[in-house]
């Protein structure tokens, strides 16, 4: 028997101060429409970009309140009458703005990916894993026998970028900020781990990689981005995945010669990849990630810090933005 109401987290006002934006509301339990399923969320994924969503940046024409949380894994508890390929009890993964920070959600059945189980590890393969897979293979045109640099390498998406680049037969450099994260990266097979609080990234790249880096999976921004651009190899590709260092502040204004001075002489390029624009590719990449994971070829690290229920969502987002987390941060419902 389902409860009559459930709770979710909404942005009651648009600001990148997630705590300030977030409010918990209690709403009636919906019936799924004919083509929908009703899902009981078990885990929601926490993402750096939650603060951009709470600021309204992803939904320029929307007005608050806006449902928060971009992904969840859970169990189907009811299905609409036209739904034939999912049934009550199935585990599903959802990846869309508003689907995450809530105890229950209705979603069109075709937008939910069936998965073997509703665990945090499986959840991490969805948004974070698919971003790494598509970012490297599609946007980055990843090859083998190249040097690949992954920034925020011990994070939710970075951990998958490291492993996928290794699986393809590349030499992988990963950056992080603590010895504990460095240990995780070594265990994931990262060839050269750089704790940027102890070693200078630019110096390491110039001295140890004089021919430059062929492919960069860059999600930090500011100085990390600049250093990566400066150290691209001939025909090197840098994929912008994010710029977390600028999400909670006003953009840093830089005045220096335009990028073409740095790129053309090396035939190097800068590309960017934003997962919603590659939505159609997600099922194929997710299936491949799931295969790697179930066969033990791919690890999925989940941060051990426990966040429970809608009450602790804002703490979980603040924790991710503190820079301390390792692997995927999740909230349990």
- Contact flag: residue 285 with ligand NAP (CB under 6 A): no
CB 7 to ligand NAP: min, Å: 24
CB 282 to ligand NAP: min, Å: 11
CA distances from 262 to 139, 232, 234, 258 (A): 20, 9, 11, 8
- % helix / strand / coil in the chain, to the nearest 5? 35, 25, 40
Q: Please choose, out of 44-52, 204-212, 227-235, 292-300, the segment that lies near ligand NAP by the rule CB under 6 A.
A: 44-52
* First-last CA distance in the chain: 18
By the 8 A CB rule, do 91 and 73 touch?
yes
In angstroms, the CA 69 to CA 50 distance is: 7
Q: Please choose, out of 29-37, 76-84, 107-115, 176-184, the segment that lies near ligand NAP by the rule CB under 6 A.
A: 176-184
Binds ligand NAP (CB under 6 A): choice among 156, 172, 232, 316: 156
Torsion region of 329: left, alpha or beta (phi above 0 gives left; psi -120 to 50 gives alpha)? beta
- Contact flag: residue 162 with ligand NAP (CB under 6 A): no
CB 120 to ligand NAP: min, Å: 13
Using CB under 6 A as the binding criterion, the count of chain residues that bind ligand NAP stands at 30
In angstroms, the CA 242 to CA 221 distance is: 7
Which contiguous run of DSSP H or E holds residue 261?
helix 260-263
- Contact flag: residue 16 with ligand NAP (CB under 6 A): no
Binds ligand NAP (CB under 6 A): choice among 92, 184, 233, 275: 275
- Contact flag: residue 273 with ligand NAP (CB under 6 A): yes
DSSP label of 138: I
Name which of 98 and 155 has its Cβ closer to ligand NAP.
Answer: 155
74's CB contacts (< 8 A; 6+ apart) are 39, 40, 41, 42, 43, 91, 92, 94, 105, 118, 333
Residues numbered 240-259 forming contacts with ligand NAP, rule: CB under 6 A: 241-245
Q: Given the rule CB under 6 A, which residues bind ligand NAP?
A: 47-49, 127-128, 131, 152, 154-158, 175-177, 181, 219-220, 241-245, 273-275, 320-321, 323, 325
């Amino acid at each position: 028997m389902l409860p009559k109401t459930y709770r979710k987290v909404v942005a009651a006002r648009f600001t990148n101060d997630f705590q300030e934006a977030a409010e918990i509301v209690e709403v009636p339990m919906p019936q799924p429409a004919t083509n929908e399923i009703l899902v009981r969320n078990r885990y929601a994924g926490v993402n750096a970009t939650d603060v951009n969503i709470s600021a309204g940046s992803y939904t320029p024409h929307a007005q608050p309140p806006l449902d928060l949380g971009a992904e969840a894994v859970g169990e189907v508890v009811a299905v609409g009458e036209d739904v034939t390929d999912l049934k009550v009890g199935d585990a599903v993964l959802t990846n869309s703005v508003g689907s995450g920070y809530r105890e229950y959600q209705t979603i069109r059945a075709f937008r939910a990916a069936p998965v073997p189980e509703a665990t945090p590890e499986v959840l991490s393969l969805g948004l974070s894993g698919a971003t790494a897979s598509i970012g490297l293979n599609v946007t980055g045109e990843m090859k083998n026998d190249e040097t690949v640099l992954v920034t925020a390498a011990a994070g939710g998406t970075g951990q998958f970028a490291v492993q996928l680049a290794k699986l393809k037969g590349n030499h992988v450099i990963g950056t992080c900020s603590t010895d504990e994260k460095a240990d995780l990266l070594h265990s994931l097979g990262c060839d050269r781990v750089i704790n940027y609080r102890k070693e200078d990234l630019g110096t390491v790249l110039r001295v140890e990689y004089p021919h430059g880096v062929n492919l960069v999976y860059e999600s930090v921004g500011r100085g990390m981005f600049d250093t990566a651009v400066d150290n691209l190899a001939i025909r090197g590709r840098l994929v912008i995945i994010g710029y977390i260092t600028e999400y909670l502040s006003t953009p840093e204004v830089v005045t220096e010669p335009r990028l073409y001075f740095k790129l053309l002489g090396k035939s190097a390029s800068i590309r960017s990849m934003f997962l919603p624009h590659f939505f159609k590719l997600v099922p194929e990449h997710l299936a491949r990630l799931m295969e790697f994971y179930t066969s033990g070829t791919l690890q999925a690290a989940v941060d051990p810090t426990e966040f429970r229920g809608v009450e602790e969502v804002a703490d979980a987002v603040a924790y991710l933005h503190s820079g301390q987390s390792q692997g995927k941060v999740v909230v349990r419902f």
